[in-house]
């Protein structure tokens, strides 16, 4: 594994529900992905599961995780991830975002499952400082600008992660067919469109995905799981380089496509 602290990539990944830990294929994909990345100095993560306006910084010290899910076996509530806080990164984030509006602190808020579930698989030693920030809006243009302002962090060894799910409709999701069930057409159609738009770096199309993407309303009845993509995209616009797919396939019919902006 490379240990260089050169320009870090920005990622958009499907974070999975807590039972992701029981899926050897997906956990192996995440572990292999992180093994191919330079080791980060710190990680900045934006999760689908934290919306707060104004933009808010989570704990800069190690605090308990946020188990923001219900009805799972007890073992999922015993998972820990005591990553170091990142107060220096938080200070830099405040400066970078100072021209976009107020930035708030919530020192007692730990990492939610959109953050720690993938990090447990990618960086299991929990020895890299992690800072989670909220999404101040679901407006793609607002999040794109957040990412653009955060882009300089990539040159400081910070791995920027947008954590969501490329398709996400739990109301239409079926557990009956198992993990490898045939995905529904609304999921495959949106996945194909998003992959094509990302490959062509069609920023305008992606920003207007609710009107341009097929089955957008079914793939995302609410858009919080697609929204983190725009932070990662915004942090990568200066290079005008299309991302590469690092994880693909479907999980209970939902697209787990994940991409890397170099």
**pLDDT at residue number 3:** 36
Q: DSSP letters of 101-169?
A: S--EE-TT----HHHHHHHHHHSTT--S-EEEEEES-S-HHHHHHHHHHHGGGGGGTEEEEEEE-SS--
Alpha-helical regions (H) of 2-79: 24-35
**pLDDT at residue number 64:** 97
- The neighbour count for residue 58, using CB atoms within 10 Å, is 27
Span 189-208, average pLDDT? 98
Helix (H, G, I), strand (E, B) or coil at 245: strand
Q: What percent of the chain has pLDDT over 90?
A: 88
Mean pLDDT for the chain? 95
**pLDDT at residue number 6:** 75
State pLDDT tens for residues 70-127: 999 999 999 999 999 999 999 999 999 998 889 999 999 999 999 999 999 999 999 9
**pLDDT at residue number 97:** 97
Per CATH, which fold does 10-261 belong to? Protocatechuate 4,5-dioxygenase; Chain B (3.40.830)
**pLDDT at residue number 5:** 56
Span 124-152, average pLDDT? 98
CA distance 237 to 91: 23
pTM: 0.95
C-alpha to C-alpha distances, 11 to 46, 62, 106, 185, 234, nearest whole angstrom: 10, 23, 24, 26, 11
- 157 — alpha (psi -120 to 50), left (phi > 0) or beta? left
State pLDDT tens for residues 218-241: 999 999 999 999 999 999 998 888
State pLDDT tens for residues 6-44: 799 999 999 988 988 899 999 999 999 999 999 999 999
**Terminal-to-terminal C-alpha distance of the chain:** 16
**pLDDT at residue number 74:** 95
């Amino acid at each position: 594994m490379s240990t260089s602290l050169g320009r870090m990539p920005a990622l958009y990944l499907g974070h999975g529900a807590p039972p992701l830990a029981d899926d050897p294929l997906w956990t192996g994909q995440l572990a292999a992905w992180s093994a191919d990345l330079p080791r980060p100095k710190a990680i900045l993560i934006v999760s689908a599961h934290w919306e707060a306006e104004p933009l808010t910084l989570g704990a800069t010290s190690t605090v308990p995780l946020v188990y923001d899910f219900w009805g799972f076996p007890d073992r999922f509530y015993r998972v820990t991830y005591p990553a170091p806080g990142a107060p220096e990164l938080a200070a830099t984030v405040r400066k970078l975002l100072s021209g976009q509006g107020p930035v708030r602190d919530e020192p007692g808020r730990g990492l939610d499952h959109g953050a720690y579930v993938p990090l447990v698989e990618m960086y299991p030693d929990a020895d890299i400082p992690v800072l989670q920030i909220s999404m101040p809006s679901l407006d793609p243009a607002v999040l794109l600008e957040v990412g653009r302002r955060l882009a300089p962090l990539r040159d400081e060894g910070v791995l920027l992660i947008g954590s969501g799910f490329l398709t996400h409709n739990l109301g239409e999701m079926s557990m009956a067919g198992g993990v490898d069930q045939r995905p529904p057409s609304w999921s495959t159609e949106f996945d194909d469109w998003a992959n094509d738009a990302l490959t062509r770096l069609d920023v305008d199309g992606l920003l207007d995905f609710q009107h341009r993407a097929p089955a957008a309303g079914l793939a995302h009845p609410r858009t919080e799981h697609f929204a983190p993509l725009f932070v990662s995209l915004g942090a990568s616009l200066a290079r005008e380089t299309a991302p590469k797919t690092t994880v693909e396939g479907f999980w209970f019919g939902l697209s787990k496509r994940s991409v890397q902006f170099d």
